[in-house]
Amino acid sequence: MPHIFRMRLALAALLMLCVAAQADVKVSVDRNVDLAATYEFKFKNVPSPVKDDAAAEATLALVLGRRDTNGAPLSALTDGLLPSEEDEPDANFFFAAGTRGGRFRMDFGSVIEIAQVNSYSWHANTRGPQVYNLFASDGADPRFNAAPDEKTNPADCGWKLIATVYAIPKQGGMGGQYGVSISDPSGSLGKYRYLLFDCDATEIDDPWGNTFFSEIDVIKK
């Protein structure tokens, strides 16, 4: 898969200007290291994972990229079960080694109003941080494409960019437990049926840069 995240970030920067005019979306990032990283996933500013959120009832689909067969299926993202240690492949979803991310879609079956989207990951090294664009859609746009390919910007086919997440430390190692919370001061990110997670690798120096995603929560308003 070609490395397209630089292009994605450039597009995201332009699109965020439009998003900012409509909503002041906030992306909070927390990181636990060493003994602070436990199976409870407790953070200073980001809520801990919950089991009965809207994502638990959603349908997941891989729309771009390949799942690493050493890891868990997409369902691990919404099953409410968390890894108990920093290197537990079968408790995390991650894209195949040697690839540079991909896209997966979450379908709630009908339009819901979303207050927060929270994502969690944990690894001892470069698979810990999270790098992704979050898009959303109600599916009503006549141009809507539920599975845009790598050459298609989702914003051109009925998706709205909600946030860009780049949770890589500015210095030092990348290992640890990460929590990301996407919210809006108004209390609502909007009313949507679908979420699209457009993920990229955290590094390209070796094949092991795809994030160990442990859980994703979607909190209804």
Top CATH class of 5-220 equals mainly beta
> Where exactly are the structural domains of the chain?
5-220
Q: DSSP per residue over 108-122, as a string?
A: EEEEEEEEEEEEEEE
The model's pTM is 0.89
CB atoms within 10 A of CB 155: 18
pLDDT digits (tens, 9 = 90+) for 164-203: 999 999 999 999 999 999 999 999 999 999 999 999 999 9
Gap between the Cα atoms of 125 and 173, Å rounded: 7
pLDDT digits (tens, 9 = 90+) for 72-120: 999 999 999 999 999 999 999 999 999 999 999 999 999 999 999 999 9
> Per residue, what are the HEC states of the chain?
CCCCHHHHHHHHHHHHHHHHHHCCCEEEEEEECHHHCCCCCCCCCCCCCCCCCHHHHCEEEEEECCECCCCCCHHHHCCCCCCCCCCCHHHCECECCCCCCEEEEEEEEEEEEEEEEEEEEEECCCCCCCEEEEEEECCCCCCCCCCCCCCCCHHHCCCEEEEEEECCCCCCCCCEEEEEEEECCCCCCEEEEEEEEEECCCCCCCCCCCCCEEEEEEEEC
Per-residue pLDDT band for 70 (boundaries 50, 70, 90) equals very high
Q: What pLDDT score was predicted for residue 153?
A: 97
The rounded percent of the chain whose pLDDT value lies above 70 is 90
Per-residue pLDDT band for 15 (boundaries 50, 70, 90) equals very low
Region 141-163: what's the mean pLDDT?
Answer: 97
**What's the mean per-residue pLDDT of the chain?**
91
Query: Which of the pair, 165 or 7, is modelled with greater confidence?
Result: 165
Q: What pLDDT score was predicted for residue 23?
A: 55
